Amino acid sequence: MAHQSELIASDIHAYLKTQEEKGMLRFITCGSVDDGKSTLIGRLLWDSKMVFEDQLAALEADSRRVGTQGEKVDYALLLDGLQAEREQGITIDVAYRFFSTDKRKFIVADTPGHEQYTRNMVTGASTAQVAVILIDARKGVLTQTRRHSYLVSLVGIRHVILAINKMDLVDYSAERFSAIRQEYENFAAGLGFDQIAAIPISALEGDNVLTRSDKTPWHQGPTLMEYLETVQVADAAVRKPFRMRVQWVNRPNLDFRGFCGTIASGAVRPGDDVVVTSSGQVSRVKRIVTMDGDLEKAVAGQAVTLTLADEIDISRGDTLASSDERPYHADRLEAKVVWMHEEPLAPGRSYLLKAGSSTAPAQVVELKFKVNVNSLRQESGETLELNEVGVCTFSLDRPVSFDSYRENRGTGNFILIDRFTNATVGAGMIHQPLLQSAGDQWSKINVDRQARAERKGQKPRILWFSGPEGVDLPAIAALVEKRLHSLGRHTYLLDGANLNRALNADADTAGGNGGEQIRRVAEVARLFAEAGLVVLTSCASSGEDVQLAREVLAGEVFTEIFVDIPPEASGRQGAADGVDAIFISDVRRSGEDLAEEIVRKIGFSAKV
The alpha carbon of 140 is separated from its chain's Cα centroid by a whole number of angstroms, namely 29
The dihedral over CA atoms of 550, 551, 552, 557, expressed in degrees to the nearest 10, equals 40
| Residue 401 appears among annotated catalytic residues | no
Taking Cα atoms as reference points, which of 426, 452, 423 lies closest to residue 530? 452
Distance CA 285, CA 267 (A): 12
Q: Which helix (H) or strand (E) holds 108?
A: strand 104-110
Distance CA 502, CA 153 (A): 61
Strand partners, 333: 394, 433
**Which residues 6+ apart lie within 8 Å of 470 measured at CB?**
564
**Which residues 6+ apart lie within 8 Å of 428 measured at CB?**
335, 336, 337, 338, 353, 392, 413, 414, 415, 416
Distance CA 536, CA 480 (A): 9
Instruction: Count Cα atoms within 13 angstroms, Cβ side, for 43.
Output: 21
CB contact at 8 A, 543 and 572: yes
Distance CA 504, CA 499 (A): 6
Distance CA 599, CA 303 (A): 49
Distance CA 327, CA 412 (A): 10
Distance CA 351, CA 418 (A): 5
SS3 breakdown of the chain: % helix, strand, coil, rounded to 5? 30, 30, 40
> DSSP string of 486-542?
HTT--EEEEEHHHHHHTTTTT---GGG--HHHHHHHHHHHHHHHHTTPEEEEE----
Instruction: Count Cα atoms within 13 angstroms, Cβ side, for 324.
Output: 7
The alpha helices in 81-162, defined as continuous H runs, are 83-88, 118-125, 143-154
Distance CA 306, CA 276 (A): 13
Identified catalytic residue from 283, 541, 585, 590: 541
Biggest CA-to-CA distance, the chain: 107
**Which residues 6+ apart lie within 8 Å of 287 measured at CB?**
258, 270, 294, 306, 307
CA-based end-to-end distance of the chain: 65
Sheet with 491-495, side-by-side order of all strands: 491-495, 534-538, 461-466, 558-563, 581-584
Distance CA 275, CA 546 (A): 59
The alpha carbon of 37 is separated from its chain's Cα centroid by a whole number of angstroms, namely 24
Strands 256-265 and 298-299: unpaired
**Torsions phi, psi for 62 (to 5 deg):** -65, -40
Catalytic residues: 541
